[in-house]
Structures are given as structure tokens and as C-alpha cells.
């Protein structure tokens, strides 16, 4: 194994209704650089939950999180991170005041649909909005296609609750960490105010805005661009 595999490690976590299989192109590009690429898994579908840890020899420790992914990682992972990549993400999914009322109501309605047994149709609706302006057929296969388990439905509900109440940076977030924020200009999931709040919380972060791009950031060149940025930021 090359020296780079020990000096740079990436831990990536998908967002709500996704799974770790979506990171395969990223993992292949990281492996070509001799980097270690680890994926966390929430376990909505047929993949078991998993929380990787840092290799003791890793000098550059990079978290890559899509949407609510950064908020699903334990504090122990964040405390040792040196770099963070926020993909179509947020500090608070529900913005304060009037702007957040309709979003909170939508989250509660989504939970009611899951509880009533309408999970499959709900996820189809969600993924159509998350993929837009591209068709949902452009998305990688995930829990919806592989099958949502009973435990997975409970995690979907738990994470909707987390989305409703989460505010601020994740516990353990390292002060002074290098940061890259990648926004989707056509994001139909994360409110403009929530995107702005993340930028305000991380004023030192570099910000990219992709257009056209929806919440799922279906840009085939994105992984290589982000890994180039990580390489350029190595100490």
C-alpha cells in the first residue's frame, strides 16, 4: 500500500434515504491516488449500519457529507477531522421563523406517510425532487430499489425528527478545520436560508455553486474536482 493511503483518509456519509453505494465513483478515484476511502452507512436498506473510525496513521482526515450526512457522524469522528466537505448541506434544515413553518409541516407529513405504510411512494416523491432538474433515473440505485427494511423505516423516521430539530454545526466539529461547501443552484430540498446559514457558520470555507444541479449534485465531474481540492489543501 502506498504512503498516501496512510497519510490521507476520507470518511463519507450519505444523506436521508441514500446509502453508501453512491460513493463508489469517489472511492475509485481516491484509491487511484493511494488514499483510504471509508464510508459510513445509516442502514435504511439492505446494508447494515456502519460507523468507520480514523486510521491512526492518517495525517489528513477528511469528512465528506451529503445533505444531513455531516449530522449523522459521531463527535469522535468530527473531533479528529482536519477537513470537511459539505455537499448540499446545512447547519439547520428548518430555518427559523416563518420560513421554517412550511418545511417543518412537510417533515411531519413525511413522517405520517412512513408511519401509515406509504414509504415507497414517499421516497419516490422525495427522490424526484432531490434529482431535479434531472430525472430520478439519473440517480444511483439505493435503498428504494434494494428494499427498505423495518429497521430502516425506523431510522428514516428518527432522521426526519433529527432534521426537524437539528441546529448548528455537528457535535465535535473542529474549530479551524479547512472546509469546502458545494451548493446546488437548483436545490429543491435545502432552503436558501439554510444554505446561507451554513456559509455564515463557516466564513472561512470555500464555496462552490453548481449549475445546473439539484440536491443530489448529479455532476459526473464533481468527485474529481473535490479530490483535487483536497489534494491542493494538503499541508
Which residues, other chains included, contact 14 with Cβ-Cβ below 8 Å and sequence gap of 6+? Answer: 20, 22, 23, 39, 40, 41, 42, 66, 67, 69
Give the model's pLDDT for residue 157. 98
What does the buried/exposed string (b/e) look like for 64-75 if buried means 16 or more CB atoms within 10 Å of the residue's CB? bbbbbbbbbbee
Give the model's pLDDT for residue 176. 87
Rounded Cα distance between 216 and 210, Å, is 11
CATH numbers and ranges of domains, the chain? 1-166+175-235 (3.40.50.1820)
58-100 pLDDT, tens digit each: 999 999 999 999 999 999 999 999 999 999 999 999 999 888 9
30-49 pLDDT, tens digit each: 999 999 999 999 999 999 99
| pLDDT over 60 (residue 3) | no
For residues 110-133, give the mean pLDDT.
98
166-186 pLDDT, tens digit each: 999 999 999 989 999 999 999
Rounded Cα distance between 152 and 225, Å, is 32
Q: How far is CA 27 from the centre of its chain?
A: 15
Give the model's pLDDT for residue 156. 98
Cβ-contact 206, 180 below 8 angstroms: yes
208 or 1, higher pLDDT: 208
Give the model's pLDDT for residue 233. 66
| pLDDT over 70 (residue 4) | no
Rounded Cα distance between 39 and 20, Å, is 6
Q: How far is CA 124 from the centre of its chain?
A: 19
Give the model's pLDDT for residue 1. 37
Side-by-side strand order, sheet with 178-184: 36-39, 8-13, 60-66, 83-87, 178-184, 206-210
Give the model's pLDDT for residue 53. 95
HSE toward the beta carbon, residue 95, CA cutoff 13 A: 15
54 exposure class (CB count in 10 Å sphere: 0-12, 13-18, 19+): middle
Give the model's pLDDT for residue 234. 57
Q: 2 falls in which pLDDT band (50, 70, 90)?
A: very low
Give the model's pLDDT for residue 99. 86
For residues 108-126, give the mean pLDDT.
97
Rounded Cα distance between 197 and 201, Å, is 6
Query: 153 in helix, strand or coil?
Result: helix
Rounded Cα distance between 56 and 146, Å, is 34
pTM of the model: 0.95
Amino acid at each position: 500500500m502506498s504512503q498516501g493511503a496512510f497519510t490521507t483518509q476520507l470518511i463519507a456519509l450519505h444523506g436521508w434515504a441514500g446509502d453508501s453505494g453512491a460513493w463508489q465513483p469517489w472511492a475509485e478515484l481516491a484509491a487511484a491516488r493511494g488514499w483510504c476511502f471509508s464510508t459510513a452507512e445509516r442502514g435504511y436498506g439492505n446494508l447494515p449500519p456502519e460507523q468507520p473510525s480514523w486510521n491512526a496513521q492518517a495525517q489528513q482526515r477528511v469528512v465528506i457529507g451529503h445533505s444531513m450526512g455531516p449530522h449523522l457522524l459521531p463527535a469522535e469522528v468530527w473531533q479528529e477531522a482536519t477537513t470537511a466537505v459539505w455537499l448540499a448541506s446545512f447547519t439547520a434544515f428548518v430555518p427559523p421563523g416563518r420560513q421554517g413553518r412550511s418545511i417543518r409541516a412537510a417533515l411531519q407529513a413525511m413522517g405520517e406517510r412512513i408511519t401509515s405504510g406509504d414509504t415507497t411512494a414517499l421516497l419516490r416523491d422525495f427522490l424526484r425532487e432531490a434529482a431535479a432538474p434531472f430525472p430520478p433515473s439519473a440517480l444511483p440505485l439505493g435503498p428504494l430499489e434494494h428494499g427498505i427494511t423495518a429497521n430502516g423505516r425506523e431510522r428514516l423516521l428518527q432522521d426526519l425528527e433529527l432534521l426537524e430539530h437539528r441546529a448548528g454545526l455537528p457535535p465535535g466539529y473542529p474549530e479551524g478545520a479547512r472546509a469546502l461547501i458545494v451548493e446546488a443552484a437548483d436545490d429543491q430540498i435545502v432552503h436558501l436560508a439554510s444554505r446561507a446559514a451554513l456559509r455564515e457558520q463557516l466564513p472561512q470555507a470555500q464555496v462552490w455553486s453548481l449549475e445546473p444541479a439539484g440536491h443530489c449534485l448529479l455532476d459526473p465531474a464533481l468527485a474529481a474536482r473535490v479530490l483535487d481540492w483536497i489534494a491542493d489543501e494538503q499541508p
